[in-house]
Chain A
Amino acid sequence: MMWWRKFEERLFYVLMIFSTASLVILLLVILLSIFLKGVPYLSWEMVSQTPKGGYYFGREGGILNAIVGSLYLSAGAVFLALVFSLPLALAMNIHMRTYKRTLHVIRFVLDLLWGIPSIVYGAFGFTLMIYLGIKASLLAGIITVAIFILPIMVRAMDEVMKNVPVTLLESAFSLGSTRTEVAFKVMLRQTLPGIITAVLLAFGRGIGDVASVLFTTGYTDNIPTSLFQQTATLPLAVFFQLGSPIPEVQNRAYAAAVILTLIILIISIATRLLGRGYNKTRIN
């Protein structure tokens, strides 16, 4: 059955090439269909104005509310998550370095948290919101998204910090540094590019998610001026406006999709450049 084996090998080889090529093709098809549909509706008016006459029925205006809202929301969430995740990642790799068991548990819990769907975070955020007595608002959205991106951020930082050579920490300790000083003066500097990458990654996750903010941010035509006001976001703008029966409103959804995709692409490229870029005082 030699011919069969030869045939099988060739067949699978072709299939493998086809599969690999399909990844590129899929990406191109997705990007193209989003861009071809949405780019024609991109205009100065679209990105510089808020919707006029209600986001669901109004034919005029643009999606500035969603663009600014998304940036506020993600930046706020990333900042809040950073306050929690940076010390956690540092603690895991300096203070608790020798507690292997505890570390296993923490990493396991973080991975579980990472796996929980964002809709569950959305539901949790909603109950939390009611419990704390805040209404649907930018703040509620920021808290929910921060919880949702926290495990992503910590694990991404942890991966970088785990690989810092122990000799570097040793030499910092041998100079008489406290753990806090090793963490914030040495570890932080050494892993700065990795930390920025983690932040960008989390930002990308945060800005693109619908399910976690669906119940917590509300939606409005206006740009929020305080944390306690409702806010629009880009993914919500896509989701809500696509459901409208009015073509002009749908067009705004497609335009929002293009802008969201562009933001994600920019983040992706920035991450890549940063990974390649070399921090000048960093020790290899």
Chain B
Amino acid sequence: MATTITYYKLRKIKDRIVSGWVKTMVGLVLLLPVVIAISLLSKSWLILGHSGLSELLFSSVWRPLAGEFGFWPFIISSVWVTFLGLIFTAPICLLSAIYLTQYGSKRLLGMMQPVIDILAGIPSVIYGVWGILLIVPAVGSFLAPLLGIETSGFSILAGGFVLAVMLIPFILNILIEIFRTVPRDLFEASLSLGASKWHTIKHVLLGKTFPGIISAFGLGLSRAFGETIAVLMVVGNVVAIPKTIFDPGYPLPALIANNYGEMLSIPMFDSALMFAALLLMAIVILFNIFSRWAIIHFEKKQ
């Protein structure tokens, strides 16, 4: 009996210790975003004191060695590439999500799931290689000459296209989830009123899931904004405000990736790149929060 009691105590102590450990983990994870933000902020303090926020954001003069850091060209490039990516990806995602959930059989969806998963799993650098092998030449030596434009192919357009393909699995998966939540009887009610299937989809399904669709693309947008390597490899990386989509661009993540580490010797440049990372994080988190808020709102309405 005595051994039983000590063993019992041992179990309780073990539970105490493990529970404590486990709660510490929870605390650490909750602190992580704060820690990331603070460490980036403290690093970018130098440049903020040097140039001021509005000059950093809206000046288009980028001459690091002369101490001038205007992020405008990078911001504009990021916006362009992201915007193009979303435009290209939107119809494909919407149409296939509708087809897979409303027209196709369960089996088809089951067969397509691995395809979507593999697309989602392919690393960014592989998309970049593919972009260099196929998309850049397609833009440079096929599409542009067709329109009478001269370009190397390394352009905003190529970046947008590669990005669009990378976004497909990400957005498509969310859309499929959302379309699945629409109750079947709602659908049947509309059909039984004599509406055609397409009409029902257009008015009932899309209407009902509109906030969900918006947040799916919002999440896609925040993913797109931070995508680094694949875009970097095909977008050209020239510091200038792009005038057309056939011009090369230089998005924010690419700026960080191309320069960090090598520029450590210039403290101000180092600080500027940290500011870029902070900016990127802020934008991405903002869109994330907005999209998640929209989706929670949408689920409550269901």
Question: Would you call B129 and A34 a contact (CB within 8 A)?
Answer: yes
- B244 interface residue per 8 A CB criterion: no
Question: Would you call A268 and B118 a contact (CB within 8 A)?
Answer: yes
From A17, A87, A116, A209, contact of B284 by CB (8 A): A116
Question: Would you call A112 and B99 a contact (CB within 8 A)?
Answer: no
Question: Would you call A127 and B39 a contact (CB within 8 A)?
Answer: yes
From B103, B115, B281, contact of A23 by CB (8 A): B115
Question: Would you call B119 and A26 a contact (CB within 8 A)?
Answer: yes
Question: Would you call B25 and A16 a contact (CB within 8 A)?
Answer: no
Known: A23-B115, A268-B114. A124 touches B36 (CB 8 A): yes
- B60 interface residue per 8 A CB criterion: no
- A108 interface residue per 8 A CB criterion: yes
- A126 interface residue per 8 A CB criterion: yes
Which residues 66-99 of B sit at the A interface, judged by CB distance below 8 A? 91-92, 95-96, 98-99
Given A13-B198, A112-B33, A123-B273; 7 other pairs, CB 8 A cutoff: A19-B91, A22-B92, A23-B168, A30-B119, A117-B281, A211-B124, A257-B129
Number of A-B contacts (CB under 8 A): 252
Task: Bin chain A's interface residue count.
Answer: 35 or more
Q: Determine the distance from Cα of A272 to Cα of B123 in the docked complex, in whole angstroms.
A: 18
- B222 interface residue per 8 A CB criterion: yes
- A134 interface residue per 8 A CB criterion: no
Question: Would you call A214 and B257 a contact (CB within 8 A)?
Answer: yes
Question: Would you call A112 and B288 a contact (CB within 8 A)?
Answer: yes
Question: Would you call B92 and A19 a contact (CB within 8 A)?
Answer: yes
Question: Would you call B26 and A127 a contact (CB within 8 A)?
Answer: no
Q: Determine the distance from Cα of A92 to Cα of B133 in the docked complex, in whole angstroms.
A: 45
Question: Would you call A117 and B11 a contact (CB within 8 A)?
Answer: no
Which residues 64-94 of A sit at the B interface, judged by CB distance below 8 A? 84, 87-88, 90-92
Q: Binary interface profile of B, 123-139, with partner A (CB < 8 Å = 1, else 0)?
A: 11111111011100000
Known: A26-B165, A30-B126. A20 touches B104 (CB 8 A): yes
- A196 interface residue per 8 A CB criterion: no
Q: Determine the distance from Cα of A151 to Cα of B110 in the docked complex, in whole angstroms.
A: 26
Which residues 168-219 of A sit at the B interface, judged by CB distance below 8 A? 178-181, 183-184, 204, 207-211, 214-215
